[in-house]
Each structure stands twice: as structure tokens, then as C-alpha cells.
Chain A
């Protein structure tokens, strides 16, 4: 097991390098000039040239990349081309907002998806199943920004229950205030995650219920509920571990649409601004962070898999 972990961690090094290279190349290949995106258009050509030179943007792309790589290896991800703040600080400033929102939304979605999916799968084609399916289809097909605006309109404007934007009331601090602001974006995200999780769990339950061990349990006289929760659930949750591992990357990149509509100060909206401004240090920083988390998440998922399903451990 330990060797596995070490090997996987070592594998991440070339992977991260490759990711950063591809990402840098893509940004550089995009048409547009970062300097021109943040300077007002009516300025003198000499000023543009001077600023481009000061930022090192007049050097060939490989030199820029090498410079960036050197800096990154020393732990500093460089400075934004646009606002000149350190990239690491900008990401860390926004990490709690995104991780908190995504974490809460994913947790909420999983907690609701398990009972709903089990109920739907074990009552196949009955009314519970149809209802859960209906909601899942609605959740998958409704555009998030529309749902978000609908929520704001109903819960903020009509009912005055919850604030419509931001993470804090101006000048206020404290967890309760943040939670109040987080309820709407979290629910919107949870609905979208929930819908896909439910469908996984439902189909997992259906296929597991056909397995021999279920029939044997019935033969032993176990109740339906016992079989479902004690035996079937264990198997059904396995793919969810993979799903969760894969969504670790999203913990960082966040949900751009939801963050934008609710003006949630997360990494998604930071990334959006960076992409528009071709601000490559910030783009690379965010990509690195999220790929690192994605890789770690997948590793964790594999390890957990080993514990949850002994069959896998022996085949390695």
C-alpha cells in the first residue's frame, strides 16, 4: 500500500509539469494580448511597449515559461499580470469561499442522494421512483443560472428570507452571516449534483438487487430494509467514492456560473476574470491547484476503494 501511494505521488510530478505546459501553450496560442486587455485603449504605443517590456511579455514564450517554472519551483506562483498581486495569495484568499461552498453542496447532495437513490432503485417503476426520476431529470436539464435567478427572485425579492448576493453583509463578520448568504448558492449547486448522484445510486441499487447474495439474504429471511441498508448500500456507494474523488478538482475551480450569479467570492470568478484578461500566471496557478487536488482526490478514492471493497486490494 505504501509503495502504491509513493508511486502515485511520484507520478503526479510529470503530470503536473505536463498540465502546466499544455495550459501555458493554450493561453499563449489564444488570440489577444494581455496588456491590451487591461490598459485603456486610447494610450500611446510607446507606453504599451514599455509596460509589455517591464512585464517581460516581449520575450519569447519559452523564456516566459521557463521564468514562470523557475519561480514556481521555489514555491511562488508568480504575480498576476493585471493586478500584480501574488497568485498564491489570491488563490488562498478565495479558497475558503469556494471549498466551503462546494464542500457543503457536495455533502448535502450525497446525504440526500443516498436515501433517495436507494428508495427509487428498490421501488423500481413505482411512484417513489417516478417522482425521484422526475426531479432528477428536472435538476439535470434546468440551466443553473436560471434556477439561481429564480431562487433569488423567490427567496430574496418576494419573501425577503435571504440575501441575494455576496458572502457577507457589509461590515459584518461571523459564521451565521456567511451561512445565511450561502444557503441559496449551496442549494442551487446541491440540486445539480444531487440529480446526477441519484441516478448513479438508483441504477446501482437496481443491478445489485438482482445479485445472488440478495436472494440468499431473502432466503435467510432478512427484511427488505436490512438487506437494503446493510448489504446493498455498501456496494452501491462504491462508485460514489470515485465520483467524490473526481469532484475534488471542482472544490477548487468551483462553479463558475453559480459563483457569478451570486457574486460569491470564490476561485471560479477569479478564474473567469483571469481567462478574460489572458492573465497566464493566475490561470496556471488555478489549473495547478485543481489538478493537484484532482490527483490527490483520485488517489484517496483508490485507497478508500481498497478498504471498502477487499476484492480490489487483492488484484493489485
Chain B
């Protein structure tokens, strides 16, 4: 009996040590930066010695995505995952980076003298993945289907200008003319979003979105569809006839990894090669020394929303909004919400930093609590009580809300935080009739043309959640949309940004960055171009070092 008791002790001790040591190791992995052996994937080491000069052919890449793609058809893709995969699967006509065009399927895009007709020339000898020719017919078909009311493409609104649709007309096999109802320089930014879909595949489908043919998509991009295992991964293989030259990699797999912590472990284990990182995870991944950590602008403005329409009427006065802005400190807010200034640039303009006419040299109200109090008093708005809605579980929003609550308390404003479930939050936030909150934290990605912002800031705009209204701004948006001359257009939007900044319909916080970790064994990142939402603009340029 006594011996047995000893045995119990030994076993209990053993189990406890095992459990404890397991916990201890876990902590090491996430905090202690020195333990480099833990992150090394066994299979990855042999390639490290290879010469890093010339791109080599072969090899594969695994990119982590957070969910199943909704639909692998660019006319319907609105979610991040579908857009990412479609970028490799379907080539776009052209892309724009920092105002510079890169042509993909298109060879050129010319504007007529009256600025009402765009002539698009396709490259010669383009083919779909199944070998069929890609011609002007496909482009026209794609635009027609976007415009078709029975099809559920949400791009449609962009192809309607002042109630009239844009017309796409085939001139010859390689030429398409787009006829606009009025001068609209923003049309280029609309066309950027289009990747043609194959007419010969979808011609006879009544409802393209529901078509079973989306399950085995035929595209024109650098990689062609190979396999989709639902809930697991999508694999694409190299497309040898890619017009941009044969891609270096043999295949790209998009692996669905739903849990961020587990996915970070898989990244360290070599089961994933490319993954988005949250700012707080950067140091852990960096410590393994196996990854390129790349923060890049995602063309997004993160802002604090002032609901002018709230039933308490508190924020209808511009002076009150300015005063609240004075009470906050942008730098502090950025560190609170985004860990470090490395991952977000301070914002003053309502246009995001990727915009053609972006100008951050505008009035801003920041970090002056004394002035804030003074202005609130002058506006007769002392003892304000404001409601701040957040989407529960959204770390950045929660951090912003708590910070704002703290800072506004210092100027005598009470903030009550209401955390809502994600879809309830989304609905309330975007409900133009909602009057039961004053503050919220939001963000938007609107693309590089400023005209897209008109739905946010014109009186009664579809996405004017601030209920901002300034006749002058409305007029400037209308002028800007129809102004063909780039210099004049620039002046219009410069003035607009200044006016809007002065009115403070939002408190611009930051132009946030996306952070991706890319396994160091891959090269060609500069040519592949890191891009918001889709990660790589042209994955054909990636290679294994």
C-alpha cells in the first residue's frame, strides 16, 4: 500500500510537470524572441543556399485565407478571399498603382477628344485557360452581364452615370469602345475593377452567379484552376500561355485557416508561406527570422464617425464636432488602436492616401483639451452624453472606443459604449435612419478616384452615414465628376478636401496598413507588387529563391 502511494505521487508529479512544461514552452514561443530553432520548418532549409540572383522556375506557394471563397467569378466577388484568388485566376484589363497604369489584358486605353469615348485595345493572341481565344466579345459580354438587372452583380451602379448606362461596343476582335453619357474621368477607376469572364462558358447560363460552371472556373490569369476542397483549400496551377510570360511558380494554394493563432503556428511550421499579420503578432513571427514582414498601405481611412442625425442632436453643430476632435490626440489614438505608428499613418484628409488627388495638408483639430472645453462651452454643449457603438470582438474598434471615452471624459463629455454583435453593428452603422447613436469607428477603401467618395459625403449620399451636408461640397463633387482636365480636377478636389476637413464630418484617424509575412525563400515581391485586399497584383512574378 505504501509503495502504491509513492507511485501515485510520482505519476501526479510527472503529469503536472508535463502540463507545466508544455505551458512554459508555449509562452516561450510567443514571448521569448531568442528561441529561433522552434520556428524552423524542416523542409524549408535546403532552398536557402540557392543563388538569389535569377528567378528560378518551379516550386509552390501557400497563402493563408480566412474563409472559403464566396464565388470564383469576378463579376460577383466582393469578399476578400474571392478577390484574392480571382486576381491570380482572372487577369484584369489594367491596374493602377500610384497613378501609373500597368496593362494586363489591355494593350492600351485611349480617350477621345470629346472625352466621351474610351477605346480599349486588347493584346493580340490572348487565350482563356481552356485554349479558346479571348476577344472583344468577352469584354462586351462581361459589361453587358454587369449591366443586366437580373444578374446580381453589384458593380452595376458604377456603370450607370446620372441614370444612363455606359455602352460597350465591339469594333473589331481586339477593340472595344466604351461610350459614356457624359464626361466622367472616374470611369477608368470603374474599369480597373473589371476582369472579363468567358462568353463561351457563360453565354447560355440564365443566372451566372448560381451557375455550376463557377465551380470549375475558366479564367485568363497567370494561374488556372486545379482543385477546390471545400473548407480546406483552392489550388491553382501555372498557366503556360499567360500573356505576361510563363509564371515561375508551378502552383499557388490558398489554404483556409480560420483561427488566427493556429494559422500563425502553421506559418511557423511551413504549412503556410504567406499570411496577413495582426500588429501584435509581428514580433513573434519576426523573431523566427524566416519571414519578410511587409507593412503596406491598404488605401483605407480609419475614422471616428460623428452621426449628425442622432436624436440627441448633439453633433449637428460643426463647432461641437471640432471641439470633440480637439479633445483627442491622433498619435496616441494610433498607438492605442494599431500598436505602433509603423502600421498606420496619421490622417487629416477624408481621401485615403492612395487617392489621385490626396492632400493631407488640410485643417485639422487635434490635441488641445483646453480649446475643446472652451468651444464646447461657447457652443452651449456642456455635459454632453454620447453613445458609441462598436462591433464586439473587433479589437481596433474597442481600443478606439475606450480611448475616446477616456479622453472625452477629460473635457466633460460622457461616452457610453454599446458593443453590438458584428452583423447587428454592420446594419445599424449603415442604416441611414439610425438615430440612436452618436459615435462609431469605421473605415473605408474607396479606390484611387475621388469621385467614388461622393456616395459618402454628398447630401443624401447612399453611404453618407455621417449625414454630412454642405452645398459647396456637393457642387464640387459634381464638378469633379465631369471635369476632364486633370489639373482643374486636382484643384476642385483640393478645395473639397479643405472644406470637408473644416466641417469635420468625421475625425480622420489614420491611413492604415496591411501587414503580410512572406517566407524568405520567395523572391520577386517587387515585381509582383503588394496590393491592398488581393496581396499580390501579379503573382506570376513570384519565384522560389
Chain A positions within 8 Å of B, measured between CB atoms, are 30-33, 36-48, 50-51, 54-55, 79, 82-84, 90, 93-94, 97, 127, 130-131, 134-135, 138, 145, 148-150, 152-154, 156-158, 160, 163-168, 170-171, 260-266, 269-270, 273, 276-278
Contact = CB atoms under 8 A, between A and B. Distances in A.
A55 B60 CA distance: 39
A127 B8 contact: yes
B541 interface: no
Interface of B: 4-5, 7-8, 11-12, 15, 19, 22-23, 25-26, 29, 38-39, 42, 60, 62, 67-68, 70-71, 78-79, 149-150, 152, 154, 156-158, 160, 209-210, 227, 229-233, 235, 253, 255-259, 261-263, 265-266, 268-269, 271, 420-424, 426-428, 430, 444-446, 452, 455-456, 462-463
Given A36-B430, A276-B423, 8 more contacts: A131-B8, A134-B12, A149-B261, A163-B271, A164-B269, A168-B229, A170-B233, A260-B258
A170 B61 CA distance: 11
Contacts of A152: 262, 265-266
Given A33-B427, A42-B444, A152-B262, A165 B257 contact: yes
Given A170-B253, A263-B257, A165 B463 contact: no
A164 B229 CA distance: 17
Contacts of A263: 231-232, 255-259, 262-263
A44 B231 contact: no
A103 B258 CA distance: 23
B262 A165 contact: yes
Contact of A42 (B149, B232, B463): B463
Contacts of B230: 90, 93-94, 265
A90 B140 CA distance: 33
Contact of A43 (B8, B157, B232): B157
A94 B209 CA distance: 22
A273 B7 contact: no
B151 to A, nearest CB: 8
A31 B446 contact: no
Contact of A171 (B5, B227, B427): B227
Closest 4 CB pairs of A and B: A265-B231, A44-B157, A32-B423, A31-B424
A39 B155 CA distance: 11
Nearest to B9: A127
Contacts of A150: 22-23, 26
Contacts of A40: 78, 154
Nearest to A166: B232
A167 B8 contact: no
Contacts of B427: 31-33, 36
26 contacts: A30-B424, A32-B423, A36-B430, A37-B423, A40-B78, A42-B446, A42-B456, A45-B462, A94-B231, A127-B7, A131-B12, A134-B12, A153-B25, A153-B29, A157-B39, A157-B268, A160-B42, A167-B229, A168-B233, A263-B255, A263-B256, A263-B257, A265-B231, A265-B232, A265-B256, A273-B68
Contacts of A163: 271
Contacts of B265: 149, 152-153, 156-157, 164
A42 B423 contact: no
A170 B62 contact: yes
Contact of B262 (A32, A39, A84, A262): A262
Given A36-B427, A94-B231, A157-B38, A31 B5 contact: no
B231 A266 contact: yes
B71 A165 contact: no
